[in-house]
Amino acid sequence: MRRTIAQPGISECKVVDQLSTKKYKRIKSIDGPGITVIDCGIKNIILEKLKSRNADVLIVPFNSTSSDILNTGPDAVLISNGPGDPSTLKHTISTVRELTGKIPLFGICLGHQIISLALGAKTYKLKFGHRGTNHPVVDCDIGREIHSQKNCF
């Protein structure tokens, strides 16, 4: 029990640094839109869905600079989902702030929160989170039920 209590909190852990790609990766499409993904711990299913919609995806590390990202020539930038406290990702927040107004941005989960922080909003950890309240949804493209996921920030 003492070892558990002595462990650092999630805000102190550099989980995104451990999960993010270390080098550029491409999922090539011939004629789809160019989407550069800032990888904060993206789930493979999201990449599969982008590929299934013919997106030309370039995955970059979470600590990439805005000029590096703009030099890839994307049509839009996706800030991915991932674990942890978004306020600890100062470099990513700064990068998104610099990209704002220059290229379309969209985010998933942690990515939404990073965009919000880049635009001056505040985030906070929910006391009890939304764990355990996943909801089934139907993917109309394939007629199959999938389950959404909610996390604690």
Domains of the chain listed by start with CATH number = 7-124 (3.40.50.880)
Structural element, H or E, at residue 2: helix 2-6
Q: What is the pTM of this model?
A: 0.81
pLDDT one digit per residue (tens) for the chain, 153 residues: 677 666 666 666 688 989 999 999 999 888 899 999 999 999 999 999 999 999 999 999 999 999 999 999 999 999 999 999 999 999 999 999 999 999 999 999 999 999 999 999 999 887 766 655 666 778 888 888 877 665 544
- At residue 148, φ and ψ (nearest 5 deg) are -75, 165
- How large is the C-alpha radius of gyration of the chain? 16
Instruction: State the first-to-last Cα distance of the chain, in angstroms, to the nearest integer.
Output: 25
Q: Where are the alpha helices (DSSP H) in 13-134?
A: 15-19, 44-52, 66-70, 90-99, 110-118
**pLDDT value at position 153?**
44
